[in-house]
Amino acid sequence: MSKIRFYNARILTMEEPVQISGATELWVDGKEICYIGDGKAEMLSFDREIDCRGNLLMPGFKDAHTHSAMVLFRSMADDEPLQSWLNNLIFPIEGQMTDEEVYELTKLSVLEYLTSGVTAVFEMYLTPKSIQDAFNECGMRNVQVSGINNFGPALSVMEERFQTLNGRNELSSYMLGFHAEYTCSKELLQQIAEMAKKYKAPIFAHNSETKQEVEECISRYGMTPTQLMDSLGMFEYGGGGYHCVYMDEKDIQIFKERGLSVVTNPASNLKLASGIAPISKFLQNDINIAIGTDGAGSNNCLDMFREMFLVTGLAKYHDMDASSVDAAKVLKMATVGGAKAMGLTKCETLSVGSYADLIMLDLHQPNMQPINNIVKNIVYSGSKQNVKLTMIHGKILYEDGKFNIGCDVDALYDKCNQIASKYNKGRI
Amino acid sequence: MSKIRFYNARILTMEEPVQISGATELWVDGKEICYIGDGKAEMLSFDREIDCRGNLLMPGFKDAHTHSAMVLFRSMADDEPLQSWLNNLIFPIEGQMTDEEVYELTKLSVLEYLTSGVTAVFEMYLTPKSIQDAFNECGMRNVQVSGINNFGPALSVMEERFQTLNGRNELSSYMLGFHAEYTCSKELLQQIAEMAKKYKAPIFAHNSETKQEVEECISRYGMTPTQLMDSLGMFEYGGGGYHCVYMDEKDIQIFKERGLSVVTNPASNLKLASGIAPISKFLQNDINIAIGTDGAGSNNCLDMFREMFLVTGLAKYHDMDASSVDAAKVLKMATVGGAKAMGLTKCETLSVGSYADLIMLDLHQPNMQPINNIVKNIVYSGSKQNVKLTMIHGKILYEDGKFNIGCDVDALYDKCNQIASKYNKGRI
């Protein structure tokens, strides 16, 4: 682990208020930030000193809902509604995917996260052990959550994963959760709730993504998915929901009272014609909001800049109010809000003692000029093109278009294209 | 002018059907494409040979509605509704802007267009002569349209510009048009219609961008803006409208019968809480559709990739149908549709004899992998980060992050920041 000095920087720590701090230097010692200031402290003997040329340092983005290996389905499964897309195309192929294939595809996703300034992912997918191996080998911080349902491994497997996949190292963790109400029996949901109590653990699941999902849950149980989960005692130790597009007042009160997190996925919700989440209402109720890309099968890219613009743009449209959900709020969701949802207490802001999970954004690109307001520039005009450097746990994994994740990028592309060929005969 | 050979390319000509052609080489002689094929023709003596490494050549994007120098307002004027934004913030500053300031800011916008693969712009702004100078000096293809209204130069000025700003060179042209119904008297609109007939010229204007605009026009004239313009004989020689968010059946029939173009601006329409245009209805009526970014004051960036995703994503949401408006249709709007609206007959597709207005997209980036379907990849996952090269009129103006527009980029940033400082005291 090395000592790195960033100087001549603009710094957005994401502590309140959200604005450029007076500091121009940030020092990293091993995995942690050890100094933020004007550079007049006693210098360490640095392994590397990086002239930021006035570019911006800020916390990396947290992609708070994703299915990484679904990069396989990018541009393979478009232009279908959610349920037929899942049942006819995704589930049959997923039934055949091997641990090794998921491992390679997860590594491909890491490349894309790094180009988008993502330093941690909240992951739910098929083969948690091989997924964690892929992330850990690349150096990507990852919080996995169980996607248990009626059709996959038993509850005992989830418990075994919870015990073995936590504590392997500081980069990774594993949380309890399940796929969604509509893929789980009531008995299974009850067992999950018991396990949450046993381990005093939060629970996350897909929740109220489509109108149909909510209507069917009501016809089955006389309650919305949120109310059902709460009635089973599932949220005694917190957690939250992915999507949360169709939420009634009672659902919102449950989220507020239980301190749950909403993870919104606007690109996926548009592309699958699911709907627009009521972001302003969540904010009015002081509910923690995080942002996720969802998997590349439905999005189709892992780009937090696109998601951030959509969160604010769609809120303004939804509320018919151009002042809704301003840039600073969105930037907090993409950083602090994500870290909170994922339980990453040392990754929320740039501060001494926090993990060095940070990005450098190039302000010398035309989309960032003139520099009227950097926070608004990032959310309204920012792009992956602005990501000059991505550092996780003190290690630079991406810099000036070059990757440093311990494997050959072209060879990885070849492997993933071979996997895609196997499942997708009609490709061009 | 030089001879350039592109080889080892994938090529998307944008001729029907929209798919990768069998060709691997494209040759440019001066300003035109002189060959597309397998490279087995007799070689020219090339000035440069570019190994595309399997990357994609396609026509450049046409940004079919923009106010380029409004990059000044990027992140300066957010979170306000359209009318108060225009009246309280934009118009007062625009009243003070000089020809020279607009010239410099227009050059700044060119940098951003090039990073986004834009090879032609449909421009409406304050000082047409200095704007045309800026575009021409940079080498950017530009079609300007008059934005005449009650508060600016007289009709005679528009006519003089129509005569003097056309025919200066092959890169630029000037069309008749006006700002919008709500900024023009009926007398002025009638005079514009007469001039359209005099020159047998098409007419473009902002049209039905907000609900309020349409309602106020109906209360003034008993007709929508489209019906009013048509009743004045304004569309005898074609033209079209920018935005077209609130269009009734009769409006759509007028657009269909007159062969008018819709230019849609989805990011701006979201951010100003204006609404979502009925794209599927336009398609069902065989109306030509083009895509524009609008100015950076309302968008806030000049990024055709974001616009393309929004066109399809918002259509799917609007229609509550995930199969609405697929990728190939959107890619046609952003290229062929734009060229048609702008009257750029030699810029529609990649074909022998067409102007060499093309881009190279990097398929070796993780957001383009695996390569299941390139057309879908571009629209659903594409990003400015993928633009490796932008060529206009046979000249490479942008390549691997470097600009070639005849001026120093950092000096241009400095000038534009000085202009921004003058008008924006509260910047950070």
Same-domain check for residues B251 and B310: yes
DSSP state, residue A85: I
Cβ-based neighbours of A408, under 8 Å, separated by 6 or more: none
Find which of B367, B407, B408 to mutate to test the A interface (most A CBs within 10 Å of its CB). B367
Is some CB atom of chain B closer than 8 A to the CB atom of A151?
no
> Which single residue is written with the structure tokens 């990011």?
B267
Which residue in the set A273, A369, A374 is minimally distant from B316, CB to CB? Answer: A273
CA distance A208 to A250: 13
Which residue in the set B79, B303, B316 is minimally distant from A271, CB to CB? Answer: B316
* A423 domain residue, yes or no: no
- Cβ burial of B427 (10 Å; 0-12, 13-18, 19+) is middle
Tell me which of A115 and B84 has the higher pLDDT.
A115
In chain B, what residues touch A416 (CB-CB under 8 Å)? Answer: 369-370
Task: Please name the residue of chain A whose CA is at the shortest distance from the CA of residue B82.
Answer: A322
CA distance A294 to A71: 11
Same-domain check for residues A25 and A110: no
Same-domain check for residues B334 and B381: no
In chain B, what residues touch A294 (CB-CB under 8 Å)? Answer: none
Is some CB atom of chain A closer than 8 A to the CB atom of B315?
no
Whether the CB-CB separation of A271 and B322 falls below 8 Å is answered with yes
Which residue in the set A75, A320, A376 is minimally distant from B78, CB to CB? Answer: A376
Q: How confident is the model over B84-111, as a mean pLDDT? A: 92
| CATH number for the domain that contains residue A295 | 3.20.20.140
Query: Order of strands, edge to edge, in the sheet holding A32-37?
Result: A32-37, A25-29, A3-7, A48-51
Find which of A300, A375, A407, A415 to mutate to test the B interface (most B CBs within 10 Å of its CB). A300
In chain A, what residues touch B370 (CB-CB under 8 Å)? Answer: 71-72, 74, 108, 413, 416-417, 419-420
Last residue of a domain, one of A320, A346, A372: A346
Find which of B380, B388, B410, B418 to mutate to test the A interface (most A CBs within 10 Å of its CB). B380
* B390 domain residue, yes or no: yes
What count of residues does chain B have? 428
pLDDT, averaged per 10 consecutive residues of chain A (428 residues), comes to 95 96 96 97 94 98 98 88 78 93 98 98 97 98 97 94 96 98 97 98 98 97 98 98 98 98 98 96 98 95 98 98 95 98 97 98 98 96 98 98 97 97 68
Is some CB atom of chain A closer than 8 A to the CB atom of B112?
yes
Whether the CB-CB separation of B284 and B255 falls below 8 Å is answered with no
Task: Please name the residue of chain A whose CA is at the shortest distance from the CA of residue B424.
Answer: A372
Helix (H, G, I), strand (E, B) or coil at A427: coil
Which residue in the set A371, A420, A428 is minimally distant from B19, CB to CB? Answer: A428
Same-domain check for residues A339 and A351: no
CB contact under 8 A, A322 and B80: yes
A140 to A106, A111, A137, A398: CA distances (angstroms)? 11, 10, 8, 11
In chain B, what residues touch A53 (CB-CB under 8 Å)? Answer: none
Helix (H, G, I), strand (E, B) or coil at B160: helix
In chain B, what residues touch A331 (CB-CB under 8 Å)? Answer: none
Is some CB atom of chain B closer than 8 A to the CB atom of A423?
no
pLDDT for B425: 65
Which residue in the set B19, B81, B385 is minimally distant from A383, CB to CB? Answer: B385
| CATH number for the domain that contains residue B371 | 2.30.40.10
- How many H helices and E strands in chain B? 16, 19
Query: Order of strands, edge to edge, in the sheet holding A395-399?
Result: A10-11, A56-59, A358-361, A387-392, A395-399, A402-403
Whether the CB-CB separation of B67 and B293 falls below 8 Å is answered with no
ipTM score assigned to the predicted complex: 0.97
CB contact under 8 A, B273 and A320: yes
pLDDT for A425: 65
Is some CB atom of chain B closer than 8 A to the CB atom of A276?
yes
- Using the CB atoms, write b or e for B111-129: b if 16+ within 10 Å: bbbbbbbbbbbbbbbbbbb
In chain B, what residues touch A314 (CB-CB under 8 Å)? Answer: 270
Same-domain check for residues B372 and B237: no
* B132 domain residue, yes or no: yes
Identify which of B320, B283, B288, B286 has the alpha carbon closest to the alpha carbon of residue B122: B288
In chain B, what residues touch A79 (CB-CB under 8 Å)? Answer: 322-323, 326
| Residue A165, amino acid | L
Strands A358-361 and A387-392: antiparallel
Task: Please name the residue of chain B whose CA is at the shortest distance from the CA of residue A418.
Answer: B370
Q: Which range of residues forms the domain containing residue A48?
A: 3-60+347-403
Q: What is the DSSP string of B224-254?
A: -HHHHHHHTTTTTT-EEEEE--S--HHHHHH
Q: Is the pLDDT of residue B428 over 70?
A: no
* Chain A stretch 256-275, residues whose beta carbon is closer than 8 A to a beta carbon of chain B: 267, 269-273, 275
* A178 domain residue, yes or no: yes
CA distance B125 to B65: 11
* A32 domain residue, yes or no: yes
In chain A, what residues touch B299 (CB-CB under 8 Å)? Answer: 380-381
CB contact under 8 A, A271 and B380: yes
In chain B, what residues touch A271 (CB-CB under 8 Å)? Answer: 312-313, 316, 322, 380
CA distance A108 to A106: 5
* Chain B stretch 332-351, residues whose beta carbon is closer than 8 A to a beta carbon of chain A: none
Identify which of A275, A276, A278, A270 has the alpha carbon closest to the alpha carbon of residue A300: A270
Q: Is the dihedral of CA A280, A281, A283, A288 positive or negative?
A: negative
In chain B, what residues touch A390 (CB-CB under 8 Å)? Answer: none
Whether the CB-CB separation of A196 and A203 falls below 8 Å is answered with yes
In chain A, what residues touch B385 (CB-CB under 8 Å)? Answer: 115, 383-385
Identify which of A326, A275, A254, A267 has the alpha carbon closest to the alpha carbon of residue A298: A267
Is some CB atom of chain A closer than 8 A to the CB atom of B322?
yes
CB contact under 8 A, B420 and A82: no
CB contact under 8 A, B271 and A376: no
- Cβ burial of A32 (10 Å; 0-12, 13-18, 19+) is middle
CA distance A61 to A57: 12
Structure tokens at A179: 């796929």
- Cβ burial of A114 (10 Å; 0-12, 13-18, 19+) is buried
Same-domain check for residues B353 and B212: no
In chain A, what residues touch B377 (CB-CB under 8 Å)? Answer: 74-75, 300
**CB neighbours (10 Å) of residue B183?**
18
Per-residue pLDDT band at B86 (split at 50, 70, 90): confident
Which residue in the set B78, B115, B381 is minimally distant from A301, CB to CB? Answer: B381
* A420 domain residue, yes or no: no
Per-residue pLDDT band at B427 (split at 50, 70, 90): very low
Same-domain check for residues B257 and B309: yes
Same-domain check for residues B166 and B20: no
Same-domain check for residues A202 and A303: yes
DSSP state, residue B120: E
Same-domain check for residues B356 and B341: no
Rg (CA), chain A: 21
Q: B166-203: per-residue pLDDT in tens? A: 999 999 999 999 999 999 999 999 999 999 999 999 99
* B163 domain residue, yes or no: yes
* B225 domain residue, yes or no: yes
- Cβ burial of B355 (10 Å; 0-12, 13-18, 19+) is buried
CB contact under 8 A, A273 and B410: no
CB contact under 8 A, A385 and B380: no
Is some CB atom of chain A closer than 8 A to the CB atom of B388?
no
Is some CB atom of chain A closer than 8 A to the CB atom of B366?
yes
Which residue in the set B85, B416, B428 is minimally distant from A373, CB to CB? Answer: B428
Same-domain check for residues A290 and A395: no
- Using the CB atoms, write b or e for B85-103: b if 16+ within 10 Å: bbeebbeebbeebeeebbb
Phi and psi dihedrals of B325, rounded to 5? Answer: 45, 80
Identify which of A343, A383, A325, A326 has the alpha carbon closest to the alpha carbon of residue A359: A383
- Using the CB atoms, write b or e for A357-384: b if 16+ within 10 Å: bbbbbbbebbbbbbbbbbbbbbbbbbbb
> Which single residue is written with the structure tokens 């002689």?
B29
A267 to A299, B60, B309: CA distances (angstroms)? 6, 25, 9
pTM, rounded to two decimals: 0.98
Same-domain check for residues A35 and A138: no
Cβ-based neighbours of B54, under 8 Å, separated by 6 or more: B8, B9, B10, B363, B364
CA distance B367 to A113: 9
Count: domains in chain B: 2
